[in-house]
Structure 1
Amino acid sequence: MIGSVLLGVLVLAVGGCACVVWAGRGGSRWVRAVATVTLVAGELVRRSERKRRRGVKSTAGGDD
């Protein structure tokens, strides 16, 4: 079950990347829409990762 979900996510990611490349070469309207959604989703993931990293304090400094 989990394997099929991960496979589905992988297919969506690869398809989104293909649409980004295709849109860069002048694809149709739906290709540009999928590419925009893919780029926005990637930016949201990047921002959430930055916020998560900021919230984690380093314990390697020896502050006990």
Structure 2
Amino acid sequence: MGALLVVILALVVGGCVCVVWADRGGPRWTRVVAAATVGSGRVLRRYQKSQRREVGGGADGDGD
């Protein structure tokens, strides 16, 4: 279990590094990894919003 968390943490940190590096004009592969990282974050946020709506009925006060 601990090894899995370390791998996930390494992927997240590596993705964040690629986002910053790609923003500063890094090689093409960093832009691909950065796009995948940002896309994954958007999917995760959308999933979390849908879960909050199912559980809380959408009355979380965030203006949506």
TM-score by length of 2: 0.86
Structure 1 gap ranges (5+): 59-64
5+ long unaligned stretches in structure 2: 58-64
> Across the two proteins, how many residue pairs are aligned to each other?
57
How high is the sequence identity, in percent, across the aligned residues? 49
Structure 1 runs (4+) deviating above 4 angstroms are none
2:23 counterpart residue number? 24
Q: Look up the match of 1:3.
A: 2
Q: Tell me the TM-score normalised to structure 1 length.
A: 0.86
Do residues 56 (structure 1) and 55 (structure 2) align? yes
Cα separation, 2, equivalents of 1:7 and 1:14: 10
Bigger Rg, structure 1 or 2: 1
